[in-house]
Amino acid sequence: MSLIKATYARLPQIIRTWIDIFKSVGSSHPRTCTICGYRGRFHPYGRPLRPDARCPKCTSLERHRLLWLWYAGDAGKLAEPILHFAPDPFLTKEFRKHYTEYVTADLFAPADLALDIEAIDLPDRSMRTVICSHVLEHVDDAKALAEIRRILTDDGLAIIAVPIAHARETTYENPEVRTPKQRELHFGQSDHVRYYGRDVRERLRKAGFTFEEVAADGRMVAEHALLADDIFFLCRKS
């Protein structure tokens, strides 16, 4: 038996288990980050752990890299002013390089504006672009979507992403689920209040939006460590 195998055998079972878990989800191929340009092996992240989920340089996750892949490729220049809800710092850093009328918003975390997405304290038709990624699953989405539509100009664009269980036809909500532990069990995270199904599209239409769906092809999924079934919506007033 080699020294490495002998040492491994003497480790407590719980440590050996975690080593095996990380080995099973560890990166096996170099990937390229669409945001910072890092090329190399990515890190596992999430609960449960997703292999190659996190860029070790800028810390972007799959959804961030998908958004930037679209932005850097087909999107062109976003129309200003731009309002970005609950932004990640690395995205804010990049957007600020290109836009002067770009503002961030969050009710609790540090941001340019302290705004409640369910009651946005901004005038009607005051924003030409709103970015709202993985926010609606935390709030009353009917109120939030109505407010996003209200502050958009008539030619405005809302970029909206939520976690979706594509195998489910309908969104799962449960009024009996109230505590953080219950929400983590039912919705996958302690501060989530629903898990979207395919009917998220009907929610967007009901809120008064038409939309296009953005996804990555298989080559881009492999190259940039994206999720094969990840999408986001480009929403405009209907």
Report d(CA 157, CA 236) in Å as an integer. 5
Query: What does pTM read for this prediction?
Result: 0.87
CB 66 within 8 A of CB 33: no
Report domain extents, the chain.
59-237
Q: Mean pLDDT, consecutive 10-residue segments, the chain of 238 residues?
A: 56 62 65 96 87 93 96 82 96 94 95 97 98 97 98 98 96 93 90 95 98 96 96 97
Q: Which residues pair with 210 in a beta bridge?
A: 236
Specify the CATH superfamily of domain 59-237: Vaccinia Virus protein VP39 (3.40.50.150)
Pairwise CA distance, residues 127 & 155, whole Å = 10
